[in-house]
């Protein structure tokens, strides 16, 4: 089977199967791994990573897009497509002796609101999504530095009459460039306006639109991501931009409503409720959200209970415990978390499986042999859980069954004795 190669230094990564994160033993860099594992997929990943490191971003993109046709939405593929879109090549930072991303493409859309990045973040693996966000935030800083140089060069080459424009006039020119999707020119105008007038909320609002590659403010309510990642967004709001405040409220309402309709997890429903709670006249939507959360919590609870009760491995118990943790105080979830933790700590799955078998036998026993088997199992378990008390219960039930059998036999015998006598008298 082909071995996955580090996407940074291209050396082989050993024992990567079944993991989502690893540290390359050659370059010492932490990185995410593909969720899908097969000879063909790993081979294509390695070829595509090599092409990206050679700055053949379009060729690498074609390979990653081909992978999407053969995998079930592997988040790693979307992350690699994001790296290609922003021209990321990893280079060795000599001062800290570690591989870091270097931007080779000047894109104006922030990586934090890129569609491929958002698809990569749509994973239930929190360690994976955390790694993606951490690296994306670093790339975002590098990208802004690159774009800052581009904007400065554009400003230096402005015509003399443009250089004398007031901040308001610069903003008007920036908006005009926005409408024509001329991101570089728009960014240059807004940047110059913010340099001349640092308290201009309109300038930062314009820079936000460039950052999201939106040619009109009216498109803000239609976006599917949180704008709070942007310093331009936070600055524009701090400076009191009323237009952005109103558009933000509309965006929250639209995002919350869409998320409520499509939510398939408690995390998504919680996010929907958080968004809707910040909007006005959303009581009916909040009630619908509460009902959905209650239904989903019960579904999760029953699933976790089945998994915990039937688990035969550490991984199954850990999965059940994570679900109970997510449910927080729902029913007896805190107690269940403790029970799962104790089982994981002792790692005594043989005893647990035997104990469950004994409990099942006692509950469904019809013959003496069922109770005998359960008693033998409980005796072997000694002090495990409440085995001694359960053993006493099992013995009592066996005696009761014996007594019941004797009573039945006595009744049958008496009937057999009495019937001939009655017949003779008749």
Instruction: Using pLDDT thresholds of 50, 70 and 90, give the confidence band for residue 4.
Output: confident
CB 33, CB 19: distance < 8 Å: yes
Residue 381 covered by a domain: yes
Helix (H, G, I), strand (E, B) or coil at 65: helix
Angle ∠(131,134,138) on CA atoms, nearest 5: 140
Whole-angstrom distance, CA of residue 242 vs CA of residue 232: 15
Helix (H, G, I), strand (E, B) or coil at 350: helix
Which of the listed residues 86, 101, 125 is the one where a domain comes to its end?
125
Out of 66-75, 245-254, 269-278, pick the least confident. Answer: 66-75
CB 2, CB 39: distance < 8 Å: yes
pLDDT tens, residue by residue, 330-360: 999 999 998 888 877 766 666 777 777 888 8
The CA-based dihedral angle spanning residues 187, 191, 192, 193, taken in that order and rounded to the nearest 10 degrees: 100
State what percent of residues in the chain have pLDDT above 90. Answer: 47
pTM of model > 0.85: no
Residue 17 covered by a domain: yes
Q: What integer is the mean pLDDT of 75-86?
A: 94
The answer to whether residue 3 scores a pLDDT higher than 60 is: yes
Residue 389: CB atoms within 10 A of its CB come to 10
Burial class of residue 295, CB neighbours in 10 A (0-12, 13-18, 19+): exposed
| Structure-token pair, residue 180 | 């024509």
Q: What pLDDT sits at residue 163? A: 72
Tell which residue, 302, 291, 229, 303, has the closest CA to residue 260. 291
Domain hosting residue 66, numbered range:
1-125
Residue 236 covered by a domain: no
Provide the number of structural domains found in the chain: 2
CB 355, CB 311: distance < 8 Å: no
The answer to whether residue 424 scores a pLDDT higher than 80 is: no
Q: Which helix (H) or strand (E) covers residue 17, if one does?
A: none
Residue 415 covered by a domain: no
Residue 298 covered by a domain: yes
Residue 422 covered by a domain: no
Residue 5 covered by a domain: yes
Whole-angstrom distance, CA of residue 20 vs CA of residue 5: 14
Whole-angstrom distance, CA of residue 197 vs CA of residue 166: 9
Sign of CA dihedral 76, 77, 79, 80: positive
Angle ∠(401,405,411) on CA atoms, nearest 5: 145
Cα–Cα distances in Å, from 67 out to 2, 42, 56, 60, 75?
16, 10, 17, 11, 11
Q: What pLDDT sits at residue 153? A: 81
Which of the listed residues 125, 141, 173 is the one where a domain comes to its end?
125
Q: Which helix (H) or strand (E) covers residue 380, if one does?
A: helix 368-381
Helix (H, G, I), strand (E, B) or coil at 287: helix
Residue 377 covered by a domain: yes
């Amino acid at each position: 089977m082909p071995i996955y190669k580090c996407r940074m230094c291209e050396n082989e990564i050993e024992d990567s199967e079944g993991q989502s994160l690893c540290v390359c033993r050659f370059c010492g860099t932490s990185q995410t791994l593909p969720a899908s594992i097969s000879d063909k997929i790993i081979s294509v990943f390695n070829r595509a990573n090599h092409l990206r490191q050679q700055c053949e971003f379009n060729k690498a993109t074609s390979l990653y897009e081909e992978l999407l046709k053969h995998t079930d939405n592997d988040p790693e593929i979307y992350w690699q497509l994001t790296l290609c879109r922003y021209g990321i090549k990893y280079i060795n930072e000599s001062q800290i002796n570690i591989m870091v991303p270097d931007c080779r493409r000047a894109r104006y859309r922030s990586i934090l609101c890129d569609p491929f990045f958002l698809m990569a973040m749509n994973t239930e693996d929190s360690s994976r999504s955390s790694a993606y966000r951490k690296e994306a935030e670093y790339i975002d800083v590098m990208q802004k530095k690159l774009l800052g140089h581009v904007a400065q060069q554009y400003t230096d080459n402005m015509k003399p009459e443009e250089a004398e424009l007031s901040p308001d006039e610069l903003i008007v020119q920036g908006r005009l460039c926005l409408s024509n999707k001329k991101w570089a020119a728009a960014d240059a105008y807004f940047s110059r306006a913010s340099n001349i007038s640092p308290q201009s909320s309109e300038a930062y609002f314009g820079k936000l639109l460039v950052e999201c590659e939106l040619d009109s403010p009216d498109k803000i309510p239609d976006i599917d991501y949180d704008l709070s990642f942007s310093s331009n967004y936070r600055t524009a709001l701090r400076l009191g931009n009323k237009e952005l405040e109103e558009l933000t409220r509309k965006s929250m309402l639209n995002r919350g409503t869409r998320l409520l309709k499509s939510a398939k997890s408690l995390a998504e429903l919680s996010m929907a409720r958080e968004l809707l709670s910040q909007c006005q006249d959303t009581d009916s939507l909040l009630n619908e959200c509460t009902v959905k959360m209650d239904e989903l919590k019960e579904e999760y609870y029953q699933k976790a209970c089945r998994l915990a009760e039937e688990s035969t491995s550490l991984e199954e118990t850990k999965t059940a415990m994570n679900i109970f943790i997510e449910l927080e105080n729902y029913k007896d979830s805190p107690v269940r978390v403790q029970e799962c933790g104790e089982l994981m700590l002792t790692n005594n799955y043989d005893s647990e499986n035997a104990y469950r078998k004994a409990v099942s036998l006692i509950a469904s026993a019809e013959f003496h042999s069922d109770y005998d088997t359960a008693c033998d199992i409980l005796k072997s378990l000694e002090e495990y859980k409440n085995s001694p008390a359960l053993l006493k219960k099992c013995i009592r039930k066996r005696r009761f069954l014996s007594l019941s059998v004797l009573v039945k036999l006595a009744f049958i015998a008496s009937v057999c004795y009495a019937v001939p006598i009655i017949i003779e008298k008749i």
